[in-house]
Amino acid sequence: MLTDPRISRLITLVAGALRPPSGVGRIALALALGVLCHSLFAAAVLAMMAAMFFGMSESFGAVPWPWALLANAALVVQFPLVHSLLLTGRGGRVVTRLIPGPHGTTLATTTYAIIASAQLLALFALWTPSGIVWWRAEGFMFWAISTAYAASWLLLLKASFDAGAEVQSGALGWMSLMARKRPIFPDMPTEGLFRLIRQPIYVAFALTLWTVPVWTPDQMVLAVCYTAYCLFAPRLKERRFASRYGGHFEAYRASVPYVAPRLRCGKSAGAAQKQRS
């Protein structure tokens, strides 16, 4: 188990952060951003889970109608727009400059996670509900759909772990700064759920949108818009991977499907990984 690179990377990262070299200012900055990052991350995830569980019918937004339509539309658009822009080369350079001083590059993943978490928290906490409920599951159907909802979140957690938990959570940046080391990014993910499909994080997130026990116009808008994003946005990610990994990614892409698994694709992915090694 400890030989699994997904786990060994985390152990090495945490061990380095627990025994930091001297440097009060550096350590204070790392800890402050770490607390901010993970607090926002937890708040965003909890807000997202709760808001979608109730079909976006419960939130703190109170913008008068019809202005609420514009406010909600802005909330929907801001996350995929900024999220995608910051993943471009120019956007990445902007992220590294958001923290003044010499540590902006080291803290880039933490800064990015802070921004993404704040965006998601704003979306789900500030949404103004329409007040319309189309359907609410009851009895056995409620428990069945709720189980599917929980399973979708567990699938998202597993996919994030397979992709590199330290990057997805933002821990890589601040822990690397604590240890005064250059951040070591995970290699191109091909293990776990990435043996089945190339985009398990996006697929799992899309599943959380559709496995809710309460359906409202609000939830339908969110589900349709973000499912479209989950289908098309990874194409931009794959362009970056093709540029970064070249033939290794091309071999992986040829053997593993995009979002829908096929029979025996796990074996094919393993073969692609061997070829890459």
Average pLDDT of the residues in 45-65: 95
Q: How confident is the model at residue 58 (pLDDT cuts 50, 70, 90)?
A: very high
Q: How far is CA 108 from CA 168, 169, 197, 271, in A?
A: 12, 12, 27, 33
| CB count in 10 Å sphere of residue 1 | 5
pLDDT at residue 81, rounded to an integer: 92
Q: Between residues 267 and 171, which one has the greater pLDDT? A: 171
Q: What is the mean pLDDT of residues 231-257?
A: 91
CA distance linking residue 54 with residue 263, whole number of Å: 35
Specify which residues 136 forms β-bridges with. 214
- CB burial of 175-203 (b: ≥16 within 10 Å; e: otherwise) equals bbbbbbbebeebeebbbbbbbbbbbbbbb
What is the pLDDT averaged over residues 103-127? Answer: 95
- Mean pLDDT along residues 9-18: 89
pLDDT digits (tens, 9 = 90+) for 171-225: 999 999 999 999 988 889 999 999 999 999 999 999 999 999 999 999 999 999 9
Q: 262 falls in which pLDDT band (50, 70, 90)?
A: confident
Range of the domain at 49: 5-276
| Residue 266 confidence class, pLDDT cut points 50, 70, 90 | very low
Q: How does residue 89 score in pLDDT terms, banded at 50, 70 and 90?
A: confident
CA pair distance 67, 65, nearest whole angstrom:
5
- Name the residue with higher pLDDT: 245 or 275: 245
Total tally of structural domains belonging to the chain: 1
Read off the pLDDT of residues 124-140 as tens digits, 9 standing for 90 and up: 999 999 999 999 999 99
Average pLDDT, the chain: 91
Segment 240-246 shows an average pLDDT of 89
Does the pLDDT value for residue 277 go beyond 50?
A: no
Question: How many other CB atoms are there within 10 angstroms of residue 33's CB atom?
Answer: 21
- How far apart CA 45 and CA 54 sit, in angstroms, is 14
Give residue 275's pLDDT band: very low, low, confident or very high (50, 70, 90): very low
The model scores a pTM over 0.95: no
pLDDT the model gives residue 10 = 86
Categorize the per-residue pLDDT at 92 as very low, low, confident or very high, splitting at 50, 70 and 90: confident
| Cα separation values, 61 from 65, 109, 125, Å | 11, 29, 7
For residues 157 and 41, give the distance between their C-alpha atoms in angstroms, rounded to a whole number: 13
pLDDT at 178: 93
